[in-house]
Amino acid sequence: MCYDLSYLSRKNYKYAERHGSKEDVEAYKSKLEKVEQQPTYYVSGFVHPKLPVITNEKPQEFQPYNWGLIPFWVKSPADAAKLSKQCLNARGESIFEKPSFREAAKQRRCLITCIDGFFEHHHIGGKSYPFYISLKNNESMTFAGLWERWEDKSTGSIRYTATIVTTEANGLMAKIHNNERAQTEGPRMPVILPPELERNWLKPFNDKADKELLQELIKPYDEDLMQAWPVKQLKGKNGIGNKEEAHSFYDYEEIAF
């Protein structure tokens, strides 16, 4: 699963260079700067931070959406708060069937961009040890996501939210993601989209062939292109929190990785 992130690298200007004309690049940069001013070294999904998102409806624009999907059909703020915590991730194999995700999977897909890396916990003897995972080339990565627009009928306020689509783990992630749930359901990882396939995730959904194209993108990323190492505890009284050191290698004697 994916509940902790590091994001918003200036390196993601390359996204603009890949998908925009020369005239568009400066506009992309300007919009990205408005989403967030400082990089986030570590953040938990359970605080529902704003992530830089590019939607199928506005593929030329970075937008800040809260992490934790609220389906459009949710009635009350209490239910919205509950589901937003349950929908930080969306299991890719069932997004076209599960009520919380199926309409978004068909109509509201997005790219969650500017991801420098993410964190996963490894479990040994009842203790958990955080690992930082990134790409070997140190470029930022793009996750497949879903988005929703939810209106609080009691106040008229609108919330835009997103979830990260996940898939089965590759070999590297399978070694790290070993908690009880992973042992029963199988280890997971985010769907990381190769640069040349990013825009395929945003293509219109009209028929069975379109669905099959999307499903082909829901697969593990090449582990040979990824790297991981243990880091200091992130949470709690002695947790490192949102500091650059959250990415630094930390040597736990009990871990041989």
User: What domains, with CATH codes, occur in the chain?
Assistant: 4-247 (3.90.1680.10)
Determine the straight-line distance between the first and last CA of the chain, rounded to whole angstroms. 20
Strands 89-91 and 158-168: parallel
Tokens, residue 182: 């992973």
Residue 231's pLDDT is 97
What gap in Å lies between CA 35 and CA 79, rounded to an integer? 27
Decide if pLDDT at 15 tops 90.
Answer: no
Q: 214-249, pLDDT tens digit by residue?
A: 999 999 999 999 999 999 999 988 899 999 999 999
Instruction: Report the distance separating Cα 212 and Cα 55, nearest Å.
Output: 20
What confidence tens digit (pLDDT) does each residue in 172-185 have?
999 999 887 767 88
User: What pLDDT score does 254 carry?
Assistant: 85
For residue 210, pLDDT over 60 is answered with yes
- Distances from the Cα of 133 to the Cα of 93, 227, 231, 251, angstroms: 23, 6, 10, 16
Size of the chain, expressed as the number of residues it contains:
257
Encoding tokens for residue 112?
């969650």
Contacts with 78 (C-beta within 8 Å, 6 or more apart), sequence order: none
Q: Is 246 helix (H, G, I), strand (E, B) or coil?
A: helix
